[in-house]
Amino acid sequence: ICCTLVIANCPTAVINFACNGSNSTSNYPPLQVHYPTIVSSCGPTTTTYVDSAIGTCTGPANGRYREFTRTFTVKDAMGNTATCTRTVRITDNVAPVFNGALPQDLTVSCASAIPAAAALTATDNCGTAVVTFAQSTITGTCANKLTITRTWTATDSCGNAVTHTQV
């Protein structure tokens, strides 16, 4: 008996996920609807899949995403195989969040009372966040009268950012 393995339902449409806290493909398992449909086969079949690495962030500022390729392989009892490749997109539009209490605006009467800048950290819903710090000083008209502006910016790998300023 001659038989063939035929699969269908392998559309080219991208499978979309919102970022769920990880850059691991295992956090984005395929739903049953994502698997190819077996039209005909030579006996029972098994379906496996292999994921490529997740790519770097791309897309417009209001729709940043990473993608990876998921390749499904269907094998039947006679050793026939068929493959189906889908693109999986992970959307990341959420900015990081600073951890803990943020430094508040402060007025002091003596320059020696100015506290050191806080070391802020941040978390991100789709990986890690990097916090940068900048400080500027504007000298006033009197000795020891000045305004210090401190700015912390937390940015994730997709460019989403949040800023906190202390004066």
Residue 98 reports pLDDT greater than 90 = yes
Predicted TM-score (pTM) of the model is 0.76
**Chain centroid, CA 59 distance in Å:** 13
Return the percentage of the chain with pLDDT > 70, whole number.
98
Q: What is the pLDDT of residue 11?
A: 67
Average pLDDT, the chain: 89
Q: Nearest 10 degrees: CA dihedral of 36, 39, 42, 46? A: 20
Q: Which residue has the tokens 């769920």?
A: 20
Pairing of strands 6-8, 161-166: unpaired
How far, in Å, CA of 10 to CA of 82, rounded?
11
Give the range among 8-22, 30-44, 53-67 with minimum mean pLDDT.
8-22
How much is the pLDDT for 1? Answer: 57
Contact of 117 with 106, CB cutoff 8 Å: no
